Amino acid sequence: MARRRDSLSDVSATTALLTDHYELTMLQAALARGTGRRRAVFEVFARSLPHGRRYGVVAGTGRLLDALEAFSFDDATLEHLDSSGVVDRPTIEWLAGYRFSGDIWGYGEGEPYFPHSPLLIVEAPFAEAVLLETLTLSILNADSAVAAAASRMTAAARGRPCIEMGSRRTHEQAAVTAARAAYIGGFSSTSNLQAGRSYGIPTRGTSAHAFTLLHDTERDAFTAQVQSLGKGTTLLVDTYDVAEAVALAVDVAGPDLGAVRLDSGDLLAQAHEVRAQLDELGATSTKIVVTSDLDEHAIAALAAAPVDAYGVGTSLVTGSGSPTAGLVYKLVAREGPDGELTPVEKKSEDKPGVGGRKFPVRRRDRNGFAEAEVIAIDHRPESDADDRDLLLPLVRSGEVVGREPLDAAQERHRQGLAELPRVALQMSRGEPAIPTLYEEP
Amino acid sequence: MARRRDSLSDVSATTALLTDHYELTMLQAALARGTGRRRAVFEVFARSLPHGRRYGVVAGTGRLLDALEAFSFDDATLEHLDSSGVVDRPTIEWLAGYRFSGDIWGYGEGEPYFPHSPLLIVEAPFAEAVLLETLTLSILNADSAVAAAASRMTAAARGRPCIEMGSRRTHEQAAVTAARAAYIGGFSSTSNLQAGRSYGIPTRGTSAHAFTLLHDTERDAFTAQVQSLGKGTTLLVDTYDVAEAVALAVDVAGPDLGAVRLDSGDLLAQAHEVRAQLDELGATSTKIVVTSDLDEHAIAALAAAPVDAYGVGTSLVTGSGSPTAGLVYKLVAREGPDGELTPVEKKSEDKPGVGGRKFPVRRRDRNGFAEAEVIAIDHRPESDADDRDLLLPLVRSGEVVGREPLDAAQERHRQGLAELPRVALQMSRGEPAIPTLYEEP
């Protein structure tokens, strides 16, 4: 088969066109007017948490830093912009030299967040910063949506491992990054092989009904799998009759069989039945993995069942009802004609803004539990309280300084969640776990 | 800034790891057992339409053909699989020579579909076909979800152009392909520049609040935009006061101003007020573009308003409540020990299968309207009715034969939708527009 991968190569060469048309036309107009060089502060935040959630989870930061470094306009890209007439020649010449020279601060990846938490602050000349809006939001919105869902699922699983298995239910590249976001939210492994390769996340797999159906008998299928993959493998036992399959599985693999998987029916009842059967057969260490359209509520409902691991797909990669985090990227301050940084905000009724450079902290009570997200404007909050700074330096004068291993994000999430009041872990809809307060000036 | 794009290059080099761990371990076990070479038929279908929709829309087929051609195991990929211990050496050697040699048929891209419509049929040795499950589903599920939402939105817009503007609310690569799927579903343009480059979709843009806020006055901002981009530009008029902004816009650009955009508030009332004001100012040809969390219902509610174009974001790229199409890839037949192709199906209670190679047609009444999706098993339906064949050859003996221009998919969708009974266009929840019938054997 001949190769034809133009579009695949296109998208990988640079991230610069993963953006909206208007970012470039605004750039052109601002450059022409001389306002493009004005120093500007953009802020990423959510107006609200989706679906009555108690907290959000920052994810995508590490990916954003990679994407930022790949954000440049090569000759082919400039030629495309020229021939398609998106912007004029002076703008193309300016883009040819594009290099982000500003500063970026952000909440650490994995950090819980609340309405109006300033998750990312980009300070740079307007012309440089405006171009990053779409790419920044795409990455943070997609990843934070999955991480938030993952966090609730792992909380509901109470320490039992959760395996990300949703690749087939989302865009093929979003699948890779969903596995990454799920890991930040506490998942222990993924089925996605590229996520293993790109991010070092442990990969796991069981078996599909197709494998059983391929063989003439269920015994043939189990024998083939155990002989090739060893007794530690996970056998899928619901293709025909579960009880017969469990007996067969132990007969074929012996009592040291790694695990069985249930993928349909009443998982609660079946888990109890299968556990009893396995124990009776002496397979007391054989684990039970359940899958089949699980979400955080289904996982919570299985808390009392003898289940050893949850495989979660659709609901996880689609953000469990909230496939996007709803983050926005807004100009909150810019240099005025006097050279001073001036807060700005739009006045529209249903989407008002709060202008000014923000300094957020998480205020904690005497027991170390978070009690408020406190945001000061134009200065750090001044208080005797136990305040934890939330902004980390990510980019300084165009140089990425905020890289960290993925495990650090998972650990930050674990700690950040442990610090929240217990109401945060409730699955029901409600108010954010802590209020967001603006410090009085 | 130094370049560091390892993970970006990784994902673009080959599509072979955009898959699940278990596809490769099943392969290993089947190869070892000798069953991997059995001829197999896999089928892609939806058990149901999401959310009481009346029809689904096939999208992603063209992308799948590209991804299939890039599905091969290069040395670095094989080395990764070896060092991570996903599969054994014989399997790695087999993968090194992987080349899909089978046949694929599918519904044309853009075609409406219904529960159990066999959207894609993959016939190949099991070992070759099983590997394509995850990648195939990722692409078709993501793209079909967006195309279905787009189709309902363009139907609600009744001929007024719809502009795809959702890049920021979905994964940065999913944004590009969402624009493509939206185009198939009838959208006329996109804000995503990479979609313009990769797929030739017209790109459009207006202006953001940040641009107005950057300038000292709204007049400065409008003047900068009109001087640089011309009178045909679209001015955003809701940063401060809409009526003042509209007056200012016409004052700055003159009565030939291209368009104004409304992005907040009561769009219905505002559209009427702004239209009246524009007309009074002599700007009778100035168009009104509305945005702000539109979905198909909001678009339908604006049918009587003087709106000229809809910009749609979040709801479109997240499938308007159904971010994945829920398609599955199931083994429906495989070679038995006698060398004959044998139907197979699993028996589990809540997810039963229907075995056998399917031959679907769309049956039409005397007026040319579709009345049923008729599926025969193991032979073409035999009938005197006006039956339209639905499967097109996409891949023959490993060679892609089903490529077509994107406009052909958009046109097929238009025609396929026009053929459906009118109930298909109702926005309310309900049954599929036509029933799916299995032909009696």
- Is B7's CB within 8 Å of A199's CB? yes
- Which CATH number is A351's domain given? 3.20.140.10
CB B141 within 8 A of CB B325: yes
* A215 neighbourhood in chain B, CB within 8 Å: 33, 35
Tokens 């920044």 -> residue: A136
What pLDDT digit, counting tens, does each position of A21-80 carry?
999 999 999 999 999 999 999 999 999 999 899 999 999 999 999 999 999 999 999 999
Q: Report which residue type is found at B256.
A: D
Average pLDDT of the segment spanning B149-168 = 98
Considering the domain architecture, whether residues B95 and B12 belong to the same structural domain is answered as: yes
What pLDDT digit, counting tens, does each position of A235-262 carry?
999 999 999 999 999 999 999 999 999 9
Considering the domain architecture, whether residues A208 and A99 belong to the same structural domain is answered as: no
CB A162 within 8 A of CB A154: yes
CA distance B141 to B147: 10
pLDDT over 80 (residue B41): yes
- Is A19's CB within 8 Å of B192's CB? yes
Minimum-distance CB partner of A12 among B12, B134, B337: B12
- Is A1's CB within 8 Å of B68's CB? yes
Average pLDDT of the segment spanning A157-174 = 98
* B385 class by beta-carbon count within 10 Å (0-12 exposed, 13-18 middle, 19+ buried): middle
CB A8 within 8 A of CB B66: yes
* Secondary structure class of A310 (helix, strand, coil): strand
What are B259's strand-pairing partners?
B234, B287
A159 within a domain of the structure (yes/no): yes
* B40 neighbourhood in chain A, CB within 8 Å: 210, 214
Considering the domain architecture, whether residues B25 and B106 belong to the same structural domain is answered as: yes
Q: What percentage of chain A's residues is helix, strand, coil (to nearest 5)?
A: 40, 20, 40
Q: Which residue of B has its CA nearest to A86?
A: B203
- Closest Cα of chain A to B363: distance in Å? 30
Considering the domain architecture, whether residues B220 and B359 belong to the same structural domain is answered as: no
Query: E strand or H helix at B38, and its extent?
Result: none
Q: Last residue of some domain: B297, B320, B343?
A: B320
Question: What confidence tier does A10 reach under pLDDT thresholds 50, 70, 90?
Answer: very low
Determine the pLDDT at residue B441.
61
pLDDT over 50 (residue B236): yes
CB B111 within 8 A of CB B58: yes
Residue B281 structure tokens = 């100012």
- Is B169's CB within 8 Å of A141's CB? yes
Q: Provide the number of structural domains found in chain A.
A: 2
What pLDDT digit, counting tens, does each position of A80-132 carry?
999 999 999 999 999 999 999 999 999 999 999 999 999 999 999 999 999 99
With a pLDDT cut of 90, the percent of chain B lying above it is 91
Q: Report how far apart, in Å, the C-alpha atoms of B70 and of each of A1, A182, A258, B191, B357 are.
A: 9, 27, 35, 28, 27
- Which CATH number is A163's domain given? 3.20.20.70
- Is B324's CB within 8 Å of A318's CB? yes
Give B384 or B367, the one with higher predicted confidence: B367
Considering the domain architecture, whether residues A168 and A305 belong to the same structural domain is answered as: yes
Give A90 or A383, the one with higher predicted confidence: A90
CA distance B287 to B261: 9
Considering the domain architecture, whether residues B166 and B105 belong to the same structural domain is answered as: no
Considering the domain architecture, whether residues A43 and A187 belong to the same structural domain is answered as: no
A109 within a domain of the structure (yes/no): yes
Considering the domain architecture, whether residues A281 and A334 belong to the same structural domain is answered as: no
Determine the pLDDT at residue A348.
64
* A399 neighbourhood in chain B, CB within 8 Å: 1
Minimum-distance CB partner of B22 among A18, A68, A208: A208
- Side-by-side strand order, sheet with A234-236: A189-190, A162-164, A309-312, A287-290, A259-262, A234-236
* A320 neighbourhood in chain B, CB within 8 Å: none
CA distance B210 to A346: 9
Q: Is the ipTM reported for this complex over the cut 0.90?
A: yes
Question: What confidence tier does A13 reach under pLDDT thresholds 50, 70, 90?
Answer: low
CB B71 within 8 A of CB B135: yes
CB B56 within 8 A of CB B46: yes
Determine the pLDDT at residue B10.
41
Determine the pLDDT at residue B13.
67
* A79 neighbourhood in chain B, CB within 8 Å: none
- A347-351, B24-28, B394-398: which range is least confident on average? A347-351
CB B104 within 8 A of CB B29: no
* B8 neighbourhood in chain A, CB within 8 Å: 12, 15, 66-67, 70
CA distance A438 to A361: 11
Minimum-distance CB partner of A228 among B32, B170, B264: B32
* A29 neighbourhood in chain B, CB within 8 Å: 207, 211, 224-225, 227-229
Q: Last residue of some domain: A265, A293, A317?
A: A317
Give residue A297's domain range: 148-317
Considering the domain architecture, whether residues A291 and A373 belong to the same structural domain is answered as: no
Average pLDDT of the segment spanning B31-45 = 98
* B284 class by beta-carbon count within 10 Å (0-12 exposed, 13-18 middle, 19+ buried): exposed
- Is B194's CB within 8 Å of A126's CB? no
* A264 neighbourhood in chain B, CB within 8 Å: 348-351
Q: Last residue of some domain: B299, B320, B341?
A: B320
Tokens 């674990």 -> residue: A414
Considering the domain architecture, whether residues A138 and A17 belong to the same structural domain is answered as: yes
B367 within a domain of the structure (yes/no): yes
Considering the domain architecture, whether residues B279 and B416 belong to the same structural domain is answered as: no
B220 within a domain of the structure (yes/no): yes
Considering the domain architecture, whether residues B108 and B169 belong to the same structural domain is answered as: no
* Residue B298: CA count within 13 A, CB half-sphere: 22
A3 within a domain of the structure (yes/no): no
What pLDDT digit, counting tens, does each position of B199-218 carry?
999 999 999 999 999 999 99
- Closest Cα of chain B to A204: distance in Å? 6
B169 within a domain of the structure (yes/no): yes
Residue B193 structure tokens = 């520049």
A260 within a domain of the structure (yes/no): yes
- Closest Cα of chain B to A264: distance in Å? 7
Determine the pLDDT at residue A349.
61
CB A325 within 8 A of CB A148: yes
A5 within a domain of the structure (yes/no): no
- Closest Cα of chain A to B436: distance in Å? 24
